[in-house]
Amino acid sequence: MIKLKDFDIKPEATKKVIIEELSQRQDITDYIGYLTPNKYYQQEMYQELFLVVCEMDEEKLVDIYMRKKLNGYIVGVLKKMSKSTSSPFHKKIKSFNSNLPDENLIENILSDLEYCTELKHLYLTELENEIENLSHYNKGILKDYLEFGSILKVCEKYKLSRDWISQSINESKKILRTEVQKKIIAFEENKY
């Protein structure tokens, strides 16, 4: 729990002096960070706190300050902003951007993307390696199929039946799938 430090009470305190002192206090920013981990909400809460203080009657603000109750008031305002669903701050944030993602979610997505990119690269590398390990005959048919994109064109090139070419391609795919899956599983086991 973060505790706000006491104000240095100045007998000539005015609204302007109090607001200046508030703006220079890191402990208020730290306390807001304690209440909400989202940087966007932290900035909004900080600004909203200053709006509340600036809109407050000067006599009332100076009275709270002189009685050393301003910390309690600030904590109360910030807690209400962060916890109460009926607070004006909560309604403003909800209506302004109800779909704001949590920063941890973004970090997790980026981490997953990095992992998926690494996995995709591994998959493509292993696929290329396993194609080279196929028999000369199956490798040639599969490469031609990948190049032409059509079984009929491969049949024309080799002068073989469609069933024969399809069987060769399916056999090659099965071998590739099995071998590459083994490598991916081994990679994932080592990753975690």
Domain covering 103-191 in this structure, CATH number: 1.10.10
> CB count, 10 Å around CB of 64?
18
Backbone angles phi, psi at 120, to 5 degrees: -65, -45
Cα 169 to Cα 154: distance, rounded to the nearest angstrom: 10
Residues in the chain: 192
Per-residue confidence in pLDDT tens, the chain, 192 aa: 566 766 667 777 888 888 888 888 888 888 888 887 777 778 888 888 888 888 989 899 888 888 888 888 888 888 888 777 777 777 666 554 444 445 555 565 556 666 677 777 777 888 888 888 889 989 899 889 888 888 899 999 999 999 999 999 889 888 888 888 888 777 777 764
DSSP 52-76: HHHHS-HHHHHHHHHTT-HHHHHHH
For the chain, the domains span 15-96, 103-191
pTM for the whole structure = 0.47
> CB count, 10 Å around CB of 191?
9
On whether the CB atoms of residues 31 and 4 are closer than 8 A, the answer is yes
